[in-house]
Structure 1
Amino acid sequence: MTAVLHQLEVPMRSRESVLIHRPARGRLGLPCWLVLPSRTAPDAVPLIAVHGIQRGAYEKASLLRERAEALGRPLIAPLFDRQTWPHYQQLVRKGRADLALLALLEELRMEGIWQTTQFDLFGHSGGAQFSHRFAMLYPHLVRRLIVGAAGWYTFPDAAEFPLGLAARQDKRDDWGPKMEAGLNRFLRLPIQVYVGEHDCKPDENTRSGPAIDRQQGPDRLTRARRWSHAVREAAEARGLRPDIDLQVLRGCTHLFSDCVARGELTDLVLPEPDAVASSETRFA
């Protein structure tokens, strides 16, 4: 690990873990913040924490750092800058944010940061949009999905992509059908959804319109409930046992820091290993 750290920049040591900024490699590479615990098992599953439209990658890493250290799990918080990745939330628009993350993870694997075949994927707000779509496209890579306070969702239904998984009539791409091809595997994932109790009013960042409001509702709280219900119904319709849970965080707003301070979010995002193992056993 010492050799790896020598290649990275801006180390900031606490009593135990290390919080490091890793610059981008190449023009379309992603920088990231890394939390490297003092003791990490070779099979420790990393957490990928994806920021929202405010680009708070450092905030995610710093507020989850103590919990990651306690569990001995590496944390990777990629940064999608506004100029290069204006629509990173939709995954496949302008430059392919999904491929950028895959490239970053491969670089970090080569540097010895993580060695497992899967990772846990977490996103808040715009990051939740990215994360659930990434998991739909690459369900084989995700061990557990944590979706927090997304502004809107891709539903497992026949609406045109990105609202649903049907191909768009006026577009050459077919990302919806590509996601649908792996839908059975996605629907078997352990999925944790959360949203603040007071995140129940649309704001300037809430996408709205007749189609999306009719499908998903007017606000993040309603949309989290409808998407969770839709995922559960889609799994049951295919004869699968859904493993999706929705937590409404009492007293919490949309802010990530508020959800951490009031909603004990760190334990929800990074639970004890026994809780994750129990879910894996039930749905193996």
Structure 2
Amino acid sequence: MIDLFPLVAQAGPNALPYFDPVLPDRELVLYSARPTVWHPGLPVLFVHHGVGRNGQDYRDYWLPHADANGMLVIAIEFPQAGFPEYLCYNFGNLHAIDGTPNPRKLWTFGIGPRLFDTLRGQGVTSTERYGLFGHSAGGQYVHRMLSFGYRDRVAVAVSANAGTYAMPDMSIDWPWGLGATDVTTDDLRRLLGFPLTLMAGTEDTKTSGRFFPKGVKSMKQGPTRYARAHTYLRTAQDAAAALHVPLQWRVIDVPGVGHDGRRMSDAAAPVIIPLLRARVMEPPSAVTPDI
């Protein structure tokens, strides 16, 4: 088992190669930001990078917030070598490249929850739950991860500037919806009851970049990333109304910001930090209502 205490060896930035126990042949890298004054009871936030696979940059975006607010931030980097393209990262490794379904135990959505359990097991943290922030491809990863139930220990989650969404609609097939998966109607009810925050830069409207999803099914979600975040919320509102359950999701528009990981991180910090600090000590039922 990998010793995770190097992540808190010194104040400021730390880094550590990491191998998930279920996927031991694929190297990840953990980039941590430890506050000057640290103890295991402080909140933990996992950060998910975009398509650039630049975990170090995203850790650095959160360095000042970690120190100023007394929390441990860990950016989990998924290198292309072990987690190629969107199938293994954005889409969680649900399917092989030929479309063959992978068993759930191989889904990469389980990496963060297992990492948190190991942090707890080694005494790096004594908290009961953690926070999630993902931007761009990381925003895709975060909301899809939550959609498949990987949220037992998640206190607060923010998906920012995602390029496409798995709409909470069983009539739309994966990965643009939750159809053709093992998600049930009861699962969907529980997902809609989870407090998910979407963040959308009002200037995230450029469509000329090579990483902007332009396929027919992606364009049905909206002409821009900004529009697609609002489509995702509207779809959830419709689903919640049809299922007669309260919806706990929201969209926060970030004025004047485009597809910018640093600025979206800065905008997310005052949203995440107070909720994370308040919820890490709450019982599970107070955070993830079972509807």
- Please tell me the TM-score bracket, short chain as reference: 0.7 to 0.9
Cα offsets for 1:206-259 (capped at 9, x unmatched): 212223322x01210110110012123322332322222212211111011243
Q: Using the alignment, how far apart are the partners of 2:254 and 2:18 within structure 1?
A: 35
Indicate the SS of the match to 1:89. Answer: coil
**Total equivalences in the alignment:** 264
Structure 1 window deviating more from structure 2 (97-106 vs 193-202): it is 97-106
Task: For 1:147-158, list aligned pairs within 5 A.
Answer: 147-157=159-169, 158=171
Determine if contact 2:156/2:275 at 8 Å carries over to the other structure: no
Given residue 16 of structure 2, which amino acid in structure 1 is its aligned partner?
A: R
Structure 1 residues not aligned, in runs of 5+: 168-175
Is structure 2 residue 76 aligned with structure 1 residue 78? Answer: yes
The CA deviation at 1:205 is 0.9
On the 8 A contact 1:194/1:246 being kept in 2, the answer is yes
Cα pair distance change 1:179/1:124, threshold 3 Å: farther
Structure 1 pair 226–30 and aligned structure 2 pair: CA distance change class (3 A): same
Alignment of structure 1 residues 1-284 onto 2, 5 Å: 8=6, 17-25=11-19, 26-40=24-38, 42-86=40-84, 87=86, 88-93=89-94, 96-137=107-148, 138-157=150-169, 158-167=171-180, 176-178=181-183, 181-202=186-207, 203-214=209-220, 216-260=221-265, 264-271=267-274
> What fraction of aligned residue pairs are identical, expressed as a percent?
24
Q: CA deviation at 1:159?
A: 0.5
Which has the larger displacement, 144-153 or 18-27? 18-27
1:92 Cα shift?
2.4
Higher relative contact order (CA 8 A, sep 6+): 2
d(CA) in 1 for partners of 2:287 and 2:128?
20
Closer/same/farther in 2, CA of residues 273 and 106 from structure 1, 3 Å limit: closer
Structure 1 segments of 4 or more deviating over 4 A? 40-43, 272-277, 279-284
Partner of 2:101: none
Q: Structure 1 residues 236 and 113 mapped into 2: Cα distance closer, same or farther (>3 Å)?
A: farther
Give ranges in structure 2 of 5+ residues lacking alignment.
97-105
User: Contact between 2:26 and 2:83, CA under 8 Å: does it hold in 1?
Assistant: no
Q: State the TM-score, normalized to the length of structure 2.
A: 0.79
Task: Give per-residue Cα distances to partners, 1:26-69, cap 9 Å, x unaligned.
Answer: 42242211122244565443111000111121122122122222
Aligned-CA RMSD value: 2.9
Instruction: Calculate the TM-score normalised by the size of structure 1.
Output: 0.81
SS of aligned partner of 2:156: strand
SS in 1 for 2:182: helix
**Paired residue secondary structure (1:139):** coil
Amino acid across the alignment from 2:262: S
Deviation at 1:120, TM superposition (A): 1.4
